[in-house]
Amino acid sequence: MRKRILITGGAGFIGSHLCEKLLNEGNEVICVDNFFTGTKDNIKHLLGNPYFEVIRHDICFPLYVEVDEIYNLACPASPVHYQKDPVQTIKVSVIGSINMLGLAKRLKVKILQASTSEVYGDPEVHPQKEEYWGNVNPIGPRACYDEGKRCAETLFFDYYRQHNLPIRVVRIFNTYGPRMHPNDGRVVSNFIVQALKNEPITVYGDGSQTRSFCYVNDLVDGMIKMMNNSDNFTGPVNLGNPEEYRIIDLAEKIIDLSNSKSKIIFKPLPQDDPKRRRPDITLAKEKLNWEPKVPVEEGLKRTIEYFERLLKEGKIR
């Protein structure tokens, strides 16, 4: 039977891939976005589908629709965007979550929260397991996102305990792929755009800090498996690629894959930037039978092709 699924932040990078996958699986999808960081270009190829609907709406205000499931992805997710309007970032995580949880409660439907590895802050435990409580600076420049997402998790579990609401919480680690915002300040998109333009590649610190990179299709599969798990597993569960990359090695790989003439330059590390980030995905393997399948090199090639196309079309300045 065709499910009617609401996706907040559905015109964003991850949200648009989720819309596409759920439509391809035969569902009806309502994409809700205020287009603060999401773009119509991400979803224009879906607009001809009669089972796809777009609503321009800010979830800081209540929304009244009838649906069978809710995926809550609405929130700017890169430092450039969430620090541009930190108060709005906190509002969408907290007030937006309250509104979506209220909708789920009224409709008695499952709701999934797209949380983040940022809830671990600059971790003192490595790799990060779900039971680690994190090391977050509550008054720093990243706190609007880190603490906003931590509070959203609190709200989800309080609705679960107080109202018996069926919730799912996933903690998303660094994700990359086509439809990333070219100017979002994230390391993969930054490096690729700089490499394709043969500009100097900016590495913050000495490049020894690490990240793990999960291809977007793998992540979306994990989110759907989490929503559909039948044993009422609420999470939180880490979704990400457990392979750890030094930032300097990623820069060199992207230069190589894009045949770039770029040189690497070094700048000071931003405040509260985590030194190491890598998920322990034991729980996802055990509960969801999920792990990433797309190798980093293959995913980077696909992402580079996407940005090459944007450059040719004059969509990157």
∠ Cα 11 20 106 (to 5°): 70
Per-residue confidence (pLDDT) for residue 231, from 0 to 100: 87
**Structural domain containing residue 41:** 4-244+271-312
Q: Within a domain: residue 317?
A: no
- Domain presence at residue 29: yes
Report the alpha-carbon distance of residue 135 to residue 58 in Å, rounded: 30
Q: Whole-angstrom Cα distance, residue 240 to residue 136?
A: 20
Rounded distance between C-alpha atoms, residue 264 and residue 274, angstroms:
21
Q: Which two tokens stand for residue 266?
A: 């070094």
Q: Is residue 298 part of a domain?
A: yes
DSSP codes joined into one string, 243-307: --EEHHHHHHHHHHHTT----EEEEPPPTT--S---B--HHHHHHH-----S-HHHHHHHHHHHH
Query: pTM for the complete prediction?
Result: 0.95
Structure tokens at 121: 């802050």
- SS3 (DSSP) at 154: helix
Determine, yes or no, domain membership for 252.
no
Residue 84: predicted pLDDT:
87
CATH of the domain at 172: 3.40.50.720
Q: How far apart are CA 8 and CA 242, in angstroms?
A: 27
Is residue 254 assigned to a domain? no
Q: Which residues are catalytic?
A: 145
Taking CA atoms, 88 is separated from 60, 70, 297, in Å, by 9, 21, 36
Q: What is the pLDDT of residue 82?
A: 81
Q: What is the pLDDT of residue 207?
A: 92
263 found inside a domain: no
pLDDT averaged per 10 residues in sequence order, the chain, 317 residues: 96 98 98 96 97 98 98 89 90 98 98 97 92 95 95 98 98 96 87 96 92 96 96 96 95 97 91 80 98 97 97 87
Residue 40 lies in a domain: yes
Q: Are 296 and 145 in contact (CB under 8 A)?
A: no
Q: Is residue 256 part of a domain?
A: no
Query: What domain count does the chain have?
Result: 1
Cα distances (angstroms) measured from residue 99 to each of 16, 72, 104, 106, 201: 21, 10, 9, 11, 41
